Chains A and B, each alone.
Chain A
């Protein structure tokens, strides 16, 4: 290999650089494999790459699509036949209905009694573990893939297709499975499981403090309970290897311009690699964090952000699409107004990331409708500015205020005594601060409300309130704090599910599969994910003020 050509690509040597960089990658893979595992014959990295294409993409070395057939049912082909669709990216499998899709990483296939790993196969039945079997050999593996007859001579569920793979292809798959999820992910120490949370600059210090305090309290509580727990080691269930590691939380505080966040994150990560990022807080963008998570293959679970990037990726998961979701909900609501459809929609926003993002999303969502959208940017802090932004309203208009409480509090000074137009407020941005609404307006103000309302809401959030009281933590912002609280509980569930199989991909997959199982302790009506879904809450209400001042639903739960 020529190191010169790898470090200094230029246009003339593009192709040779591409080639050698591929070789460089191969070199690293082989080295890694050698370091990781001395025993089994080390497969060539080319095999691993060929295996990856079969496993992840359903493409054979020839470039032809992978084909699987089923005895009784129908064929599959290409991406749909890829092993990943069922055994998942981590190779740890999953569960569909009552059919267990078994883990097929090398650790599981070739395990002997001395080194047998264990995994839970059913989140609904915590006692249901993977079964022991005689270790597979290359031959028996070929047989199970080609004929659906496993190492114990059992005929597999017809869900598992049969693949007429050649010896070379089997070898490639085998090479891929051997290295797949073979080592625990970064951030997993012998005694410690490292997590981080991320705080962007310019967040409300009260919110920051509330989040960090809740997280530290829950981590301490969890670690204390583990001690009690590991001292109890009497029940056979205690013998199941699960992570008894202490959880450690680091807070990554970002500073300065967002262009520098990536570097800051990389430095933090270098100092202390973490297994996952839990929650997080930003009033502006989240895009640099999102990219960082994807790049480091780092699960970033459910930050509290108002505008997540629209492009989804595997590792970052979100509660919702934030203000972009509200924009779509409002657009759908306005389009369905029939004869009450406003002629013009005036949207008022600040000229910042979230304001621009929200207004763009709404403009986009209103495209093709008869309602004319007019943008009014709010500058400065004087009430007169807002007055200017709101002038010329009539009853044929509708207004959307993409404003936070600081701006909303000036609204009643700026607008007329009687509000001529129906005025919508962003629920995410208003964060349950509606004191600004004067009595005379109540009939005209609506909130695009992404959370649950009324008694159900009270029921959902009761657990958190109780917990805050127990630990003497303040209630600053209910909806936001339930996001943090839910996340902590969910993390507990997730880690107890994955046992000692501490692979980040597996964590994300479990999150995808388990989210709908959890009893809901968040302010959202319900949260649910599935393979490939990245936003757990998918709708919002249009809410109005009841005579008693409380918010009540004025629409169904709208899912755009």
Chain B
């Protein structure tokens, strides 16, 4: 094949071509039909030693932020995400209230997966919108840092639109992480959290 033809093909067909025969309405992969439920698993993740920037503009060590002694509840969000993220953030907001009522001091951590857009100022505004108190922080950083953190928690899916609702919790440094994936109610998160703390 000539170079010209090859280029034509690569450039203009790459997005099109699928060898699999397909008829209208046949495919249904990827469409979620399940009733509300979530998956949980325990896992060990190495916290990457990277510099993050908190919503107040402070440059901090991510490792130290996670290892300050408090239990951690962590998720991934971005400000421009209109469908899933508001739901996740409302959920965190409700969880925050619940834990406060129970006298719990957990560190709630929301990592931006669109760090170049989500400047500290934008995150601060977002935090305010969801009523984040002093125990709930938002972090941004360079693109590489955000990707490193997502990868460390096996939450990197290549691009931000491909992002799913994951919550990670850890009772203290050295303990495994509890990973819950799917749609949870604030009650369910609080329940998982309390169960986790009671583990020896």
Name the contact of B24 in the complex, choosing from A118, A159, A229 (C-beta under 8 A): A118
- Asked whether, in the complex, the Cβ of A129 is within 8 Å of the Cβ of B90, the reply is no
- Asked whether, in the complex, the Cβ of A221 is within 8 Å of the Cβ of B8, the reply is yes
Q: Which residues of chain B are within 8 angstroms of A237 by Cβ–Cβ distance?
A: 16-18, 20-22
Q: How far is the CB of A328 from chain B (nearest CB, A)?
A: 10
Q: Which residues of chain B are within 8 angstroms of A466 by Cβ–Cβ distance?
A: 3, 7
- Asked whether, in the complex, the Cβ of A80 is within 8 Å of the Cβ of B160, the reply is no
Binary contact readout A69-104 vs B (1 if CB under 8 angstroms, 0 otherwise): 011111110001000011000000011111111000
Q: Which residues of chain B are within 8 angstroms of A528 by Cβ–Cβ distance?
A: 114, 116-117, 159-160
A73/B15 contact (C-beta < 8 A), A97-B164, A516-B159, A530-B117 known? no
Q: How far is the CB of B19 from chain A (nearest CB, A)?
A: 8
Flag whether B1 is at the interface (Cβ < 8 A): no
- Asked whether, in the complex, the Cβ of A76 is within 8 Å of the Cβ of B90, the reply is yes
Task: List residues 131-158 of chain B with CB under 8 A from any CB of chain A.
Answer: 142-143, 157-158
Q: Which residues of chain A are within 8 angstroms of B25 by Cβ–Cβ distance?
A: 116, 129-132
Binary contact readout A516-541 vs B (1 if CB under 8 angstroms, 0 otherwise): 11000000001010111100001100
Binary contact readout A491-531 vs B (1 if CB under 8 angstroms, 0 otherwise): 01100110000000000000001001100000000101011
Q: In the complex, how many residue pairs between chain A and chain B have their CB atoms under 8 Å apart?
A: 179
Task: List residues 1-60 of chain B with CB under 8 A from any CB of chain A.
Answer: 3-4, 7-9, 11-13, 15-18, 20-33, 35-36
- Asked whether, in the complex, the Cβ of B12 is within 8 Å of the Cβ of A131, the reply is no
Could you tell me the dominant secondary structure of chain A's interface residues? loop
- Asked whether, in the complex, the Cβ of A225 is within 8 Å of the Cβ of B163, the reply is no
- Asked whether, in the complex, the Cβ of B188 is within 8 Å of the Cβ of A72, the reply is yes
Distance of A529 Cα from B118 Cα, bound (Å): 12
Task: Tell me the count of chain A residues lying within 8 A, CB to CB, of chain B.
Answer: 69
Task: List residues 373-428 of chain A with CB under 8 A from any CB of chain B.
Answer: none
Name the contact of B81 in the complex, choosing from A157, A221, A236, A531 (C-beta under 8 A): A531
- Asked whether, in the complex, the Cβ of B183 is within 8 Å of the Cβ of A516, the reply is no
Flag whether A269 is at the interface (Cβ < 8 A): no
- Asked whether, in the complex, the Cβ of B32 is within 8 Å of the Cβ of A98, the reply is yes
Q: Which residues of chain B are within 8 angstroms of A531 by Cβ–Cβ distance?
A: 80-82
- Asked whether, in the complex, the Cβ of B82 is within 8 Å of the Cβ of A100, the reply is no
Q: Which of A95, A121, A237, A526: most chain B CB closer than 10 A?
A: A237
Q: Which of B3, B81, B161, B188: most chain A CB closer than 10 A?
A: B161
Name the contact of A97 in the complex, choosing from B23, B91, B165, B188 (C-beta under 8 A): B165
- Asked whether, in the complex, the Cβ of B7 is within 8 Å of the Cβ of A96, the reply is no
Q: Which residues of chain B are within 8 angstroms of A530 by Cβ–Cβ distance?
A: 78, 80-81, 114, 117, 160-161
- Asked whether, in the complex, the Cβ of A154 is within 8 Å of the Cβ of B33, the reply is yes
Flag whether A473 is at the interface (Cβ < 8 A): no
Name the contact of A74 in the complex, choosing from B8, B15, B90, B114 (C-beta under 8 A): B90
Q: Which residues of chain B are within 8 angstroms of A96 by Cβ–Cβ distance?
A: 81, 83-84, 161, 163
Q: Which residues of chain B are within 8 angstroms of A455 by Cβ–Cβ distance?
A: none
Task: List residues 73-91 of chain B with CB under 8 A from any CB of chain A.
Answer: 78, 80-84, 86-87, 90-91
A-B contact pairs, 20 of them (CB 8 A): A73-B36, A73-B186, A76-B90, A97-B162, A97-B163, A101-B83, A116-B25, A126-B18, A127-B18, A129-B25, A221-B11, A229-B13, A236-B23, A470-B3, A513-B161, A516-B159, A530-B80, A530-B117, A556-B142, A560-B119
Residue numbers of A with Cβ under 8 A of B are 70-76, 80, 85-86, 94-101, 116, 118, 121-122, 124-132, 154-155, 157-159, 221-222, 224-225, 229, 235-237, 239-240, 466-467, 470, 489, 492-493, 496-497, 513, 516-517, 526, 528, 530-533, 538-539, 556-557, 559-560
Known: A96-B81, A236-B22, A496-B15. 17 other contacts (CB 8 A): A72-B185, A73-B36, A73-B184, A74-B91, A96-B163, A98-B164, A99-B32, A100-B32, A118-B24, A125-B30, A157-B32, A221-B12, A225-B9, A467-B7, A492-B12, A516-B160, A528-B159
In the complex, the 8 A-B pairs of residues with the closest C-beta atoms, listed nearest first: A132-B25, A530-B80, A97-B164, A74-B90, A72-B36, A85-B82, A236-B21, A516-B159
